[in-house]
Amino acid sequence: MSNNRHDIGRNPGPIDRSITKLLYISNAKYGGDWNSLLHTHSFTELFYVVGDRGQFKIGEHLIPVAADDLVLVNPNVPHTELSLNAAPLEYIVLGVAGLEFLPREDSSEYSLTNFCGSTEEVQFYMRSMLREIEQKRTGYEMVCQDLLELLLINLVRQSQATLSAAAPAAQRSNRECATVRRYIENHFKEALTLDMLSELAHLNKYYMVHIFTREYGVSPINYLIACRIQESLHLLEKTDHPLSRISHMLGFSSPSYFSQSFRRLQGISPMEFRKRCRDSEGQPAPEPVPDRVVCEAVPSS
């Protein structure tokens, strides 16, 4: 009698199932109404090309794809799919939270693997997940999660890419908020917009406003205004610049908006603040600036 026993090791696998979670799976096929726009996600996306061919624009890279290619796009990387009517691209896409890939190539934005040697197996995982989600039978979430992990292990074996648990969403949000805050503090005199700040953080504009406000208790735009008003305190106290010039120097759209913002944050008008500073120092108040000067455009220098 022979008996071969193989014990299961205790080494951790490539996937941390307490963090890595399947968010969604769907299939798509190119049509004439396909609106191709660069966009980002806070999670990883996996695109498995089922048929025909096309291109993926990922960051600064434009890569051709065909059947059996699997494209992985890391979180917060701008990307979009491109195709032609003559060969409509068809793919299955998965959204996966808590996961990043560290491919062997220099780029950390994406990974490209071809599964021509195991097409049947990969398509079985993909289509089984689609079927489970469509039918939603008891325990379908667990089945989909297990199939995802099998697919990821297959990917690691095929491409030798390294899987890494992504930083928790709260930590990523902290980093992204800090990036936006530092940029505002260094560029508050410029004409900043929410679109510019959200692009800087690779976040949806409305989500960026939400997490920034949650982190600092003030919206990005109000923080920008606060930085400008803080700088205006120095200019009002130490210079004789008219309000029109201070407003222009600090990026306000008009002197009246500057005065309105100043009063809202400081409780007094800019001129009243300047007068109080001069009175406390025993200096005479400067001559009032005529309205025509306050309202005229200030030439750029």
For the stretch 238-296, pLDDT in tens is 999 999 999 999 999 999 999 999 999 999 999 999 999 888 876 554 444 443 333 33
Neighbour count for residue 158 (Cβ, 10 Å) = 15
pLDDT digits (tens, 9 = 90+) for 155-196: 888 776 666 655 555 555 677 888 898 899 989 999 999 999
CATH number of 21-164: 2.60.120.280
Neighbour count for residue 271 (Cβ, 10 Å) = 17
Answer yes or no: are the C-beta atoms of 180 and 212 closer than 8 Å. Answer: yes
* Fold match between domain 21-164 and domain 170-295: no
**Identity of the highest mean pLDDT range in 54-68, 87-101, 254-268:** 254-268
Residue 235 to residue 3: CA distance in whole angstroms: 87
Token pair for 75: 């979180």
Amino acid symbol at 181: R
Residue with tokens 């190539």: 105
CATH number of 170-295: 1.10.10.60
Neighbour count for residue 279 (Cβ, 10 Å) = 11
Average pLDDT across the chain, whole number: 81
Angle in degrees, CA 115, 118, 120, rounded to 5: 115
Query: Where are the domains positioned within the chain?
Result: 21-164, 170-295
Burial of 179 (0-12, 13-18, 19+ CB in 10 A): middle
Q: What is the per-residue burial (b if ≥16 Cβ within 10 Å, else e) of 30-44?
A: beeebeeeeebbbbb
Answer yes or no: are the C-beta atoms of 250 and 189 closer than 8 Å. Answer: yes
Residue with tokens 């009698």: 1
Burial of 93 (0-12, 13-18, 19+ CB in 10 A): middle
Residue 101 to residue 162: CA distance in whole angstroms: 6
Token pair for 268: 């007094």
- DSSP H helices, the chain, are 119-135, 140-159, 169-187, 194-201, 205-216, 220-238, 243-249, 255-266, 270-281, 291-295
Q: What is the mean pLDDT of residues 119-133?
A: 90
Residue 292 has what pLDDT?
36
Residue 136 to residue 138: CA distance in whole angstroms: 7
Residue 223 has what pLDDT?
93
181 SS3 class: helix
